[in-house]
Amino acid sequence: MRQAILDLEESRIREVANAGMGRAGVLAFWFGESDEVTPEAVRAAAVASLQAGETFYSHNLGLPELRQAVAGYTSVLHGPVDAERIAITSGGVNALMLAMQALVDAGDEVVAVTPVWPNLTAQPRILGARLSCVALRPRADGAWTLDLDALLAAITPTTRLLVLNAPNNPTGWTLSRTEQQAILARCRATGTWILADEVYERLYYRDDTASGAAPSFLDLAEADDRLAVVQSFSKSFLMTGWRLGWLVMPTQMMGHMGKLIEFNTSCAPVFVQRAAQVALAEADAITPRIVAHLRQCRDTLVPLLQGLPGVRASSAPGGMYAFLRVDGHDDSLALAKRLVREAGLGLAPGVAFGSEAEGWLRWCFASRDLSRLREGAQRLERWLHANRRS
Ligand code: PMP
């Protein structure tokens, strides 16, 4: 086994979830997915495709109709994007890995903004890259912010790739337009590629963009900029288990991306791609409803958390997580395990996302039933009361 693989850490989110999964009555908010099933019309399209016998390989880059539909969807949100720039991938995580395989050699320097979903920092390590992290910092009110100057200083002519996820999992931090402009200018000057994970772009609760989506690098960049944008059907269409996403890259890269996809997965399943075509056709009916509900979830949970003694949490502008700090509990893995055992509450430990998030907990608020969130907050309140420090 390669040393880089031996060195990979097991997911600390899994560590808590595995400890809690056999337990009766645990309210689980540890994973990043909604508990609502994929819309009926999307499921029906997959069934119809299978019934019609669509059981064969597709083009490496995806069905031309789907690439076209993705390009249309993206163009409405961010201005013209050609279908030639789209590669259909087996989930957002596969899109991330493909982009890294295409861009990063062993020994290359990769800069990542953390805390972040652990896959984004594990993937460069798998490829043998040298990873350096620029940390977001929590403010007193619990909101996380970027030290833009520190990030710009970390990007040098030897930086091959900058990995960014905004809206961010786990903190909800979202890049502003001005920050994106400065980062793009810096990366143009240093010749650094930007890998922008924008899978939460539709889960955005501010109304400061024309499209309603979070600010995207696609809004600013030229078609041939060194930019790869990762997208997914998982969050905006409730399709986590389907494993479908896409990549937007410069046109001249796409022939090579087709080769890489051939050697990774060859193509995404056709019936899943058919379902995705319907998801995009129905996007105006599906996504705004999901986002409106998620906003309700956030606005139900976060004020309850803010009302608890010794708890810091802010209302994040994007994503589907509350990120909270409980005073006096600095070991987030130990705290998450205790909450499972003693309160029946399943949260993800902050340390899973980077050392700067040690002491924090991630709570996925994508719950169909708002009363689950209220019950979870009550359990935390009771536990805090029982464990009050004298
Ligand atoms: N990026 C981020 C930041 C995520 O949180 C996730 C899912 N948790 C993904 C990418 C990948 O999503 P998927 O592979 O389900 O498309």
Expressed in angstroms, the distance from the first to the final Cα of the chain is 51
Ligand 1 surroundings by CB, under 6 angstroms? 32, 91-93, 117, 165, 169, 197, 199, 232, 234, 240, 245
Q: State the distance from the centre of ligand 1 to the C-alpha of 199, rounded, in angstroms.
A: 7
Best residue among 163, 233, 234 to mutate for probing ligand 1's pocket (most ligand atoms within 8 Å of CB) is: 234
Q: Which residues of 147-183 are buried (b: 16+ CB within 10 A; e: fewer)?
A: ebeebbebbeeebbbbbbbbbbbbbbbbbeeebbebb
Give me the pLDDT at residue 210, please. Answer: 85
What are the φ and ψ backbone dihedral angles of 337, each rounded to 5 degrees? -70, -40
Coil vs helix vs strand at 135: strand
Angle in degrees, CA 89, 95, 101, rounded to 5: 120
The pLDDT of residue 75: 98
Q: Name the residue of 38, 89, 202, 235 to mutate for ligand 1: max ligand atoms within 8 A of Cβ.
A: 235
pLDDT tens track of the chain, all 390 residues?
999 999 998 889 999 999 888 888 999 999 999 999 999 999 999 999 999 999 999 999 999 999 999 999 999 999 999 999 999 999 999 999 999 999 999 999 999 999 999 999 999 999 999 999 999 999 999 999 999 999 999 999 999 999 999 999 999 999 999 999 999 999 999 999 999 999 999 999 998 888 899 999 999 999 999 999 999 999 999 999 999 999 999 999 999 999 999 999 999 999 999 999 999 999 999 999 999 999 999 999 999 999 999 999 999 999 999 999 999 999 999 999 999 999 999 999 999 999 999 999 999 999 999 999 999 999 999 999 999 765
Considering only CA atoms, which residue is closest to atom 7 of ligand 1? Answer: 32
CA dihedral 344, 345, 351, 354 (to 10 degrees): 150
Give every CB contact of residue 384 below 8 A, 6+ residues apart in sequence.
308, 309, 310, 311, 326
Residue 142 contacts residue 325 (beta carbons within 8 Å): yes
The Å distance, Cα 213 to ligand 1 centre, comes to 17
Which pLDDT belongs to residue 38? Answer: 98
What's the pLDDT at 389? 65
Domains, the chain: 3-38+285-386 (3.90.1150.10), 43-282 (3.40.640.10)
